[in-house]
Structure 1
Amino acid sequence: MRRPIACLLLAAVALPSAVVAQTPPASIGDRYVPAPWWMRDPVIASVGYVRTEIPANRAAFNASFQSIDRSAAEASRKAADQIRELSRALGAYGATVVRVETSITTRPLYDQYRDENGVLRDNTRADRIARYQADATVSLTVRDVEVLERVYATVTASQPTSVSQVWFTLDPDNTVKTWLQGEAVKDAARRAREAASNAGTSLGGVRVIDPTGRACETDVLAGWPSYASNQEQATTVDDVVVTGSRIAARGMASPAPPAAPPPPPGAQAPTEAQIEAARLALQPPLRELTDRACVVYALN
């Protein structure tokens, strides 16, 4: 009968200790604070910080087609007619390659007059509407930059009233993110080995691997758990995936760009000659990617 009682007593004693261990050991600014558990023996905390540049893989722009008529409905119809076949031609790429959004806005154009100072003003009265202006806008998001030049040329060959500039963005996939995180851990290991060697010692086993890097920001001397931002010098990663050949070399096959879709039957889309005449070089710019990781080693 005593053994179960003794076990219960031990569990009751151990339970508060576990609860206390989960509470913060000190407040920020305390003079004396305990070190984290992984600092009970000599350790080295190393931050791996890497950067690379990858071409942007998303592009977006828009074009507007304008129509003016005495009737608002007729102005909207004419504007819609200008973009209908263009929208079909662009939609043939598929939503995974080119996303197309269209909208039509209409506003009244009033009779104008000059005031006593000679300034031309609109006579903004319902009975003084002279015309209606309809603007049909095609907004495009190109998710495969391999077809960007042809898509842009197709739009400009359709003779829009205005075309915006092209905006580029980078949306790295999970393969690139995982690769960059692995490079950050490798960089942390390299820095730790060099630091230990320069100090005349060697690395032991790994104590902590923190992909967020926050474990290495624990400042024991300043009063743990205070954190300071580290301005680490990033290591440039040279073998990052930036071209199709490097993608293939790293085992990440680059899909072939989709073929240009034929114009829909009976469509008044731009001809092939018009598209080629409007074609311009649109090279995606490079965008920077960074990542970091914290690895804590024991010291031999």
Structure 2
Amino acid sequence: MRASLTRSLTLGLLAAAVAAPALAQTPPATIGDRYIPAPWWMRDPVIASVGNVQVELQANRAFVSASFQSVERSVNDASRAAADQVRALSQALAGYGADKVRVETSVTTRPIYDQYRDGDGVIRDNTRADRIARYQADAAVRVTVRDVALIERVYATIVASRPTSIGQVSFSLDPENSWKANLAAEAMKDARRRAEAAAANAGATLGRVRIIDPSGRVCQTDVLAGWPSYAASGPATSVDEVVVTGAKAMERANFAPPPPPAAPAGGGAPSEDQIEAARLALQPPLQTLTDSACIIYSLN
């Protein structure tokens, strides 16, 4: 009896060990199989609807960089001269406040060696510590504009500071959490609108909700082809009128220039006339924000 019980337990454990991998398999079938088991939510008639929405928003971040170069006989003089060039600009831009304009600066130096011609007439650097002729210092400024209404003035201030080089102005969209939440809600509404239209056109009505998937992945499962195989969803619905008030208020402001900050102590910053003379039209581009959601309804 005891031996029989031990054998039964052993067989039971072996059966469980064999069944465990089968239960853990994902997906439950191989693509191309003749018969594909349907997911649980397809036991009754259902309709899977994907809500796709998009909205165009003006970029709310701008970036630009510049560099100042100085060449002196000593490393201290070169670094000090480059730092002096960038200090007044940094202070002028910092006057707007770190919540609107963020300024990062760095200074690097390198030696400039005497040169000579080798036996083949090629000019080479005499890279010896006692053959350093000058030191070159490069002061870099990277500016992040968090209030894009200031970008024209910030760029003009940089130009008026006469840097050695200026990088291209770039823009990006950093959506606020409320914008994302509003767009996610619109994706759900869009999914319901599409489901209602499809059911009505097919002569049915929507029943209760079976699944709500904010990621939209459930609706991409292609059961007929052997899931999970994914198909493209329909075109996105534009929801331009659902943008949060903050973005619209920024648009209505038409980028009116704010009052300039106070000039930094010690002078050296560009004058107001120089800044105005260097102004260019810089219109932040439109960026597309998208979201999707999947809702599965039963059908009546």
Relative to the length of structure 1, the TM-score reads 0.83
Matched, 1:53 2:56: yes
Moved more, 83-92 or 64-73: 83-92
Deviation at 1:184, TM superposition (A): 1.2
Cα drift, residue 57 of structure 1: 0.8
1:26 to partner: Cα distance? 5.9
1:135 CA drift (Å): 0.6
CA contact (8 A) 1:196 1:203 kept: yes
C-alpha distance in 1 between matches for 2:202 and 2:183: 29
Identify the residue that residue 82 of structure 1 maps to in structure 2. Answer: 85
CA shift for structure 1 position 33: 4.8
Is the CA contact 1:48–1:186 (under 8 Å) kept in the aligned structure 2? yes
Which residue number corresponds to residue 131 of structure 2?
128
Q: 1:69, 1:123 → 2: CA distance?
A: 18
1:148 to 108, 133, 151: 151
Q: CA RMSD in A?
A: 3.0
Secondary structure of the equivalent of 2:241? coil
Distance 2:292 2:144 in 1: 31
Q: Give 2:39's aligned residue.
A: 36
- 5+ residue gaps, structure 1, are 1-15
Unaligned segments of structure 2, at least 5 residues: 1-15
The 1:60–1:187 alpha-carbon spacing in structure 2 relative to 1, beyond 3 Å, is: same
Q: Deviations over 1:239-261 (max 9, x none)?
A: 25399784599xxx999986431
Question: What is the DSSP-based 3-state SS (H/G/I as helix, E as strand, rest coil) of the residue aligned with 1:221?
Answer: coil
Which of 225, 240, 243 is the equivalent residue of 1:241? 243
Deviation at 1:262, TM superposition (A): 1.2
The alignment covers a number of residue pairs equal to 278
Question: Alignment partner for residue 228 of structure 1, among 227, 230, 242?
Answer: 230
> Aligned letter for 2:261?
P
> Do 1:55 and 1:242's aligned partners in 2 also have CA atoms closer than 8 Å?
no
Deviation, structure 1 residue 115:
3.8
The equivalent of 1:206 in structure 2 is: 209
CA distance in 2, matches of 1:197, 1:235: 20
* 1:219 match: 222
Residue 263 of structure 1 is matched in structure 2 by 263
* Identity value in percent: 64
Supply the distance in 1 between the matched residues of 2:39 and 2:256 (Cα, whole angstroms). 51
TM-score normalised per structure 2: 0.83
Report the counterpart of residue 275 of structure 1 in structure 2.
275
